[in-house]
Amino acid sequence: MSFTSEVKDELARLQAPRRCCRMAELSALMRLEGSLHLRGPHRITLHTESENAAVARKMFSLLRELFLLSPELRVEKAPRLKGHNCYCLFLGEEAQVAQVLNELSLLDHAMRPVMGVSPRLTRRPCCSAAYLRGAFLGGGYVSKPESPAHLEINVRHSEMAEGLARLSERHGLEMHVTRKRDFFCVYTKSRREQIDLLAFMGAHRAVLRLQSDAVFKEMRAEVNRRVNSETANLERAVDAAQRQLRDIKRVQEALGLETLSPALREVALMRLEHPEASMQELGACIHPPLSKSAVYHRLLRISRIASAL
């Protein structure tokens, strides 16, 4: 199962306790999944198609709970979905359906389709969350935790896309809108927004998965950073030791190490004896032990003598 299907499955199983929220959720779902057909004077059908059985069941049960409607449910093989099952709901009986669609803000009183997000159904925060959940169930996609963050909701009309972006913004969630061939896409590529949006919709299991994955990635990045910086330190130390050896040998050949002061000579001999030791280790070999910075300064003075040659 794809991560998107998993998230939709989780969201579809959520039962909003309040009627206001269930109305909002159903409205968004039908707006995204449904297409209205006026089939002759006595039959409006609302045809919805979903690949996801849990989503189809959700629409079915919401229609029944909220309006006592029993839509006709058909399972079809959709060529568009490469032969996958497609769950279709049909609503008939003009008068009642028109009434229902009006209550759901899908049709206005003149039976014209309403575009965009219904302000009436999204007044409260609980309903906004339910509305976004419905929209995601209808047209959402979310990238799997191990991929770069991406969450999008695809809609047919720009009013709906702008409406969803504004609705998210009202709750501190930033979504962008872009036009694709024949639809509009409301999306975010930020991990923060992806997680916050899913949490707002109520997909807590998905949020946990994303967070644990993000934490894991962060840890791995931190380990890599440390390994890299230790490697870099090590390389720098090796380079420095090479330079020190070269300088000591130049002084040895040109002047002889006996011309150095006892303090410098001691460090120079230690370096020759332990070419790969760190300065700290060199300091520890000397009696009495020298600090790392004392070793460093003595080696620096030898290098100055060498470069003056």
Specify burial of residue 170 (Cβ count, 10 A radius: 0-12, 13-18, 19+).
exposed
Does the footprint of Zn ion cover residue 21 (CB under 5 A)? yes
Nearest to 161 by CA among 144, 139, 189: 139
Among 14, 20, 66, 272, binds Zn ion (CB under 5 A): 20
Q: Which range in 83-91, 126-134, 192-200, 296-304 contacts Zn ion by CB under 5 A? A: 126-134
Beta carbon of residue 71, minimum distance to Zn ion (angstroms, whole number): 23
Task: Tell me whether residue 197 or residue 270 sits nearer to Zn ion (CB atom).
Answer: 197
Beta carbon of residue 63, minimum distance to Zn ion (angstroms, whole number): 18
Task: Tell me whether residue 36 or residue 126 sits nearer to Zn ion (CB atom).
Answer: 126
Does the footprint of Zn ion cover residue 62 (CB under 5 A)? no
Distance of CA 287 to the CA centre of its chain: 58
Task: Tell me whether residue 21 or residue 29 sits nearer to Zn ion (CB atom).
Answer: 21
Task: Tell me whether residue 168 or residue 303 sits nearer to Zn ion (CB atom).
Answer: 168
Does the footprint of Zn ion cover residue 123 (CB under 5 A)? no
In sequence order, the 6+-apart residues with CB closer than 8 A to the CB of 106 are: 27, 30, 31, 34, 36, 113, 114
Nearest to 50 by CA among 103, 106, 4: 4
> CB of 186 within 8 A of CB of 155?
yes
Beta carbon of residue 20, minimum distance to Zn ion (angstroms, whole number): 4
Beta-sheet pairing, 183-188 with 176-180: antiparallel
Beta carbon of residue 108, minimum distance to Zn ion (angstroms, whole number): 22
Nearest to 197 by CA among 123, 143, 117, 133: 133
Among 69, 114, 115, 126, binds Zn ion (CB under 5 A): 126
> CB of 130 within 8 A of CB of 15?
no
Among 127, 241, 260, 270, binds Zn ion (CB under 5 A): 127
Going residue by residue from 183 to 222, which x/- string records binding to Zn ion, judged by CB under 5 A? ----------------------------------------
Does the footprint of Zn ion cover residue 18 (CB under 5 A)? yes
> CB of 117 within 8 A of CB of 127?
no
| Calpha distance 244→82 (Å, rounded) | 70
Does the footprint of Zn ion cover residue 272 (CB under 5 A)? no
Beta carbon of residue 17, minimum distance to Zn ion (angstroms, whole number): 9
Residues in contact with Zn ion, counted by CB under 5 A, come to a total of 6
Beta carbon of residue 127, minimum distance to Zn ion (angstroms, whole number): 4
Q: Which range in 20-28, 31-39, 42-50, 53-61 contacts Zn ion by CB under 5 A? A: 20-28
DSSP H helices, the chain, are 3-13, 19-33, 53-67, 94-103, 125-139, 158-170, 191-201, 204-254, 262-273, 279-285, 292-308
Q: Footprint of Zn ion on this chain (CB under 5 A)?
A: 18, 20-21, 124, 126-127
